[in-house]
A and B are shown apart, each in its own frame.
Chain A
């Protein structure tokens, strides 16, 4: 057992976990942040993507202990109160989700994609960058639309700040 201390969604937290505990299970089982999902056991599906120190990471690829001292943001931590993150709003407005299970990981990956590419996103790039996130419901059509829409919204939001 080890004690892991980290910041999750702006809150300092600590938990005593078995050394083999993955970050995703720390979030889900110990911190009750169940928005981050487990969709596979081979780090392929991306349902568990969170941000660790500002970068999108599959939280099933990381031991909880490796996140000691890190700053983690999950899907529960991106809205500002009642105001949705532009990516969340774009997924809703473009019908970019159906069953909702892949959605948190998609949203967290998509925010990272927009941040890395700035305003220079096109459909082909979005499709390539979403390689690590599997959705079985939407056929990706509306997810791609949502990410491109959000890229515009995030640019506007950034300019306003």
Chain B
């Protein structure tokens, strides 16, 4: 590696603008003649909209228009779609209710928009929105899974009787029943995976402008995937053909999944910008984020694991109810199915697995992918189960895991996934050493003498990233392919622009992707620029989610680079009168091996563009593009061990140590990778100790601000001890696996396993607040 190449801790190129206040987020942008949108939102969880009286609002200062749900339906703007078709056990397709961008007749969650006010200033729009009078007829609400599946429950959508979207299964039921019949021991567990609010620090925002001369729209939006947004807005929502719609995602302040989806607010802003023929800006406030950003998790699960007399796993049976909220969000259907049940084998040899998942509508905000998306839920089930089993079987939790680890690769699980490589013993051993597991009993005894309860908990997670092989996901119901594109433009002076379909909203692509290119050519990262987030500049790409940007997007860059290098070698060989097979690239030079002859990259590039002396038949220019479709998922895996101390007097949990040993394959920039792990771990700890979206019985979200929803703050979390073990991913040219979600996938189980170890009970739900822990201790 060079000082800026693969494996180097290069400081981030993008940081200067962020630390000097020069970042350019959507709300920072002003357009000439811009108006402001304020939505009128339902205060009820379930109600019929009997009428909307805009007359008072229309008379208020600065009001340009008040637009309603009926108008957007009349203008044939399409209903929101769900892009992954799931079929129930009986073969019937999932049962979806209609989701218009603003509700014309029925509202089904608090915060759903029924109208929008467009005004000259933000304050004028806010004032007028208060004056829009909506006549609601309240209906009974089903604010959670249990209420929605109870007999006589209020029905949300006529299309989905009993509020059931689907009743899905995966695995071999007969083989699993057989495994349980043979079992020496069976361990059972009931779990709640608590509902979370993603809370990227930048609230969602959109600016739409319409050019009536060109019949063309531009949308600035807080998106993780601007091309997917343009495709969906064009093909399904009928906003404009793709060539008449430019989508720009500039600096985006965090996503965590919540900015994958195309929301009603972007649709309405575009539609309204043509209606009023002015640019329209909408910036969500934090309460709107709580009410309308897709939430995450929210599962109720019963699981059983069968063991033989030697503590080897024979089978796993899992039954889960997943809350979808009031509508099916863009990728919601895939999260508790193919992103969840396919990971239930964990790191273990499990001969038989059977999972069934019931998807349920409730009168709550829609639920979709949030950092990890299905995999944290799977990891939580498997790792809580392993710890519970170790206690019930009276074996050391590390030993039980070692007894059951997969050690031969490739390994076909009973739930679709074929693990390509890994070394689960290596990461467990690294973590055990780092936390000094052997010394734990002495530390525990010392804590006890001081009146504190010390506990240690494990989580050996595995996840599937690098989403995803297009053909494979297509066969499972995905409506899109999940390849990625890249274009490499070598300019006539030898500088390089990389245009990528991935999108960075904190991940540091401008640095990491530059390192990839710099490493191949032996040049400085300053000679490389990364361009992303603008559909007018970048060819179609799929965006960033599922820890895919490097494994899939980076591999596309490698493929495009290979084409550029091949052509550049031909040009250099021609100029140097050598064979192209003798050309090697070193330190930015194209050298003839075994001679002192060479041509610098800028000279090769200049030759490509002057085209005065190119090989016969060669086209001028030095620019190539590539589309990379992965052959398999990647499988990051590792062990997290958490040591906590619980104060039995208050129920408060404190961290003594948190060790994370991850195998992400090759690391391009370890500093950035570790930053991703720190952030993921904190979100996982947030889920375990602090966070939880709470609805009351009427369907009001009572945790709708940072005063009511406990976000992890600096003194809630420890500094982390990170370790890396490495098995290179054989499935992509970089050997990388992805690191963005691991922390959030693995951490929660480690924390709860540690607390339950400390307090001596398996029954403890997340978030494990001091109140819950105190009651778990004292009954």
Bound together, the chains give a CA A33 to CA B20 distance in angstroms of 11
Whether B412 sits at the interface, judged by CB under 8 Å, is: no
Contact present for B705 and A44 (CB under 8 Å) = yes
Whether B390 sits at the interface, judged by CB under 8 Å, is: no
Residues of A within 8 A of B12 (CB): 92, 95
Q: A38-B27, A74-B21, A144-B719 are in contact. Are A101 and B705 (CB under 8 A)?
A: no
Of A101, A107, A126, A142, the residue contacting B253 (CB under 8 A) is A101
Residues of B within 8 A of A28 (CB): 27-28
Contact present for A45 and B202 (CB under 8 Å) = no
Contact present for B714 and A126 (CB under 8 Å) = yes
Q: A126-B714, A139-B717 are in contact. Are A88 and B201 (CB under 8 A)?
A: no
Bound together, the chains give a CA A18 to CA B24 distance in angstroms of 26
Contact present for A75 and B713 (CB under 8 Å) = no
Whose C-beta in chain B lies nearest to the C-beta of A125?
Answer: B715
Interface centre among A28, A36, A136, by most chain B C-beta atoms within 10 angstroms, is A136
Interface centre among A92, A128, A141, by most chain B C-beta atoms within 10 angstroms, is A141
Bound together, the chains give a CA A36 to CA B20 distance in angstroms of 10
Residues of B within 8 A of A84 (CB): 19-20
Of B14, B17, B21, B256, the residue contacting A33 (CB under 8 A) is B21
Bound together, the chains give a CA A64 to CA B291 distance in angstroms of 29
Closest CB in chain B relative to A104 CB, distance in Å: 5
Contact present for B20 and A79 (CB under 8 Å) = yes
Contact present for A99 and B706 (CB under 8 Å) = no
Q: A35-B23, A141-B678, A141-B719 are in contact. Are A136 and B711 (CB under 8 A)?
A: yes
Closest CB in chain B relative to A22 CB, distance in Å: 11
Bound together, the chains give a CA A127 to CA B19 distance in angstroms of 20
Residues of B within 8 A of A127 (CB): 714-715
Q: A34-B21, A137-B506, A139-B681 are in contact. Are A99 and B719 (CB under 8 A)?
A: no
Contact present for B705 and A99 (CB under 8 Å) = no
Residues of A within 8 A of B28 (CB): 28, 34
Of A101, A123, A139, the residue contacting B25 (CB under 8 A) is A101
Contact present for A98 and B715 (CB under 8 Å) = no
Contact present for A44 and B707 (CB under 8 Å) = yes
Of A92, A95, A140, the residue contacting B16 (CB under 8 A) is A92
Q: A34-B21, A34-B28, A143-B714 are in contact. Are A138 and B678 (CB under 8 A)?
A: yes
Interface residues of B in 6-22 (CB under 8 A from A): 11-12, 14-22
Bound together, the chains give a CA A123 to CA B506 distance in angstroms of 25
Whether A76 sits at the interface, judged by CB under 8 Å, is: yes
Contact present for A98 and B675 (CB under 8 Å) = yes
Interface residues of A in 33-90 (CB under 8 A from B): 33-42, 44-45, 47, 74-76, 79, 84, 88
Contact present for B713 and A134 (CB under 8 Å) = yes
Of B27, B254, B681, the residue contacting A98 (CB under 8 A) is B254
Interface residues of B in 357-374 (CB under 8 A from A): none
Residues of B within 8 A of A75 (CB): 19-21
Residues of B within 8 A of A95 (CB): 11-12, 671-672, 674-675
Of B21, B202, B678, the residue contacting A39 (CB under 8 A) is B202
Whether A161 sits at the interface, judged by CB under 8 Å, is: no
Contact present for B15 and A97 (CB under 8 Å) = yes
Of A37, A79, A134, the residue contacting B706 (CB under 8 A) is A134
Contact present for B682 and A140 (CB under 8 Å) = yes
Of B15, B201, B707, B714, the residue contacting A47 (CB under 8 A) is B201
Closest CB in chain A relative to B599 CB, distance in Å: 35
Residues of B within 8 A of A104 (CB): 18-19, 21
Residues of A within 8 A of B680 (CB): 139
Bound together, the chains give a CA A41 to CA B289 distance in angstroms of 11
Contact present for B715 and A136 (CB under 8 Å) = no
Contact present for B706 and A35 (CB under 8 Å) = no
Residues of A within 8 A of B743 (CB): 139
Residues of B within 8 A of A151 (CB): none
Whether A16 sits at the interface, judged by CB under 8 Å, is: no
Whether A114 sits at the interface, judged by CB under 8 Å, is: no
Of A100, A134, A135, the residue contacting B18 (CB under 8 A) is A100
Interface centre among A103, A104, A137, A141, by most chain B C-beta atoms within 10 angstroms, is A137
Against B, the Cβ 8 Å flags (1 = close, 0 = not) of A3-47 are: 000000000000000101000000010000111111111101101
Of A74, A91, A99, the residue contacting B506 (CB under 8 A) is A99
Contact present for B679 and A138 (CB under 8 Å) = yes
Bound together, the chains give a CA A76 to CA B18 distance in angstroms of 10
Interface residues of B in 251-288 (CB under 8 A from A): 251-254, 256, 285-287
Residues of A within 8 A of B73 (CB): none
Contact present for A136 and B18 (CB under 8 Å) = no
Bound together, the chains give a CA A137 to CA B252 distance in angstroms of 12
Say which size band chain B's interface belongs to.
Answer: 35 or more
Residues of A within 8 A of B25 (CB): 34, 37, 101
Interface residues of B in 504-534 (CB under 8 A from A): 505-508
Interface residues of B in 493-513 (CB under 8 A from A): 505-508
Bound together, the chains give a CA A141 to CA B720 distance in angstroms of 7
Contact present for B679 and A98 (CB under 8 Å) = yes
Bound together, the chains give a CA A104 to CA B18 distance in angstroms of 7
Bound together, the chains give a CA A42 to CA B507 distance in angstroms of 28
Whether A121 sits at the interface, judged by CB under 8 Å, is: no
Whether B426 sits at the interface, judged by CB under 8 Å, is: no
Interface centre among A91, A100, A144, by most chain B C-beta atoms within 10 angstroms, is A100
Whose C-beta in chain A lies nearest to the C-beta of B508?
Answer: A98
Interface residues of B in 168-210 (CB under 8 A from A): 199-203
Contact present for B123 and A20 (CB under 8 Å) = yes
Closest CB in chain B relative to A106 CB, distance in Å: 10
Bound together, the chains give a CA A45 to CA B505 distance in angstroms of 19
Residues of B within 8 A of A40 (CB): 285-286, 705-706
Whether A130 sits at the interface, judged by CB under 8 Å, is: yes
Bound together, the chains give a CA A41 to CA B506 distance in angstroms of 23
Contact present for B714 and A144 (CB under 8 Å) = yes
Residues of A within 8 A of B715 (CB): 124, 127-128, 130-131
Residues of B within 8 A of A111 (CB): none
Contact present for A97 and B21 (CB under 8 Å) = no
Q: A34-B28, A74-B21 are in contact. Are A41 and B285 (CB under 8 A)?
A: yes
Residues of A within 8 A of B14 (CB): 100
Contact present for B15 and A92 (CB under 8 Å) = yes
Contact present for B711 and A134 (CB under 8 Å) = yes
Contact present for A41 and B254 (CB under 8 Å) = no
Residues of B within 8 A of A36 (CB): 21
Contact present for B19 and A102 (CB under 8 Å) = no
Residues of A within 8 A of B256 (CB): 136
Whose C-beta in chain A lies nearest to the C-beta of B202?
Answer: A101
Contact present for B678 and A99 (CB under 8 Å) = no
Whose C-beta in chain A lies nearest to the C-beta of B747?
Answer: A139
Bound together, the chains give a CA A107 to CA B20 distance in angstroms of 10
Closest CB in chain B relative to A129 CB, distance in Å: 8
Bound together, the chains give a CA A104 to CA B17 distance in angstroms of 10
Residues of A within 8 A of B706 (CB): 40, 42, 44-45, 134
Bound together, the chains give a CA A103 to CA B202 distance in angstroms of 11
Bound together, the chains give a CA A88 to CA B672 distance in angstroms of 18
Residues of A within 8 A of B717 (CB): 139-141
Bound together, the chains give a CA A106 to CA B202 distance in angstroms of 14
Closest CB in chain B relative to A155 CB, distance in Å: 20
Bound together, the chains give a CA A139 to CA B254 distance in angstroms of 13
Q: A44-B706, A95-B671, A100-B18 are in contact. Are A37 and B679 (CB under 8 A)?
A: no
Bound together, the chains give a CA A36 to CA B683 distance in angstroms of 25
Residues of A within 8 A of B252 (CB): 99
Interface centre among A41, A47, A124, A144, by most chain B C-beta atoms within 10 angstroms, is A41
Bound together, the chains give a CA A92 to CA B680 distance in angstroms of 20
Whose C-beta in chain A lies nearest to the C-beta of B685?
Answer: A139
Closest CB in chain A relative to B736 CB, distance in Å: 19
The 6 A-B pairs at the shortest CB distance, nearest first, are namely A35-B21, A101-B253, A100-B18, A99-B506, A139-B682, A139-B678
Other contacts beyond A99-B505, A103-B18: 14, CB < 8 A: A18-B123, A20-B123, A39-B201, A45-B286, A88-B20, A91-B19, A93-B11, A97-B18, A98-B254, A133-B713, A136-B711, A139-B720, A140-B712, A140-B713
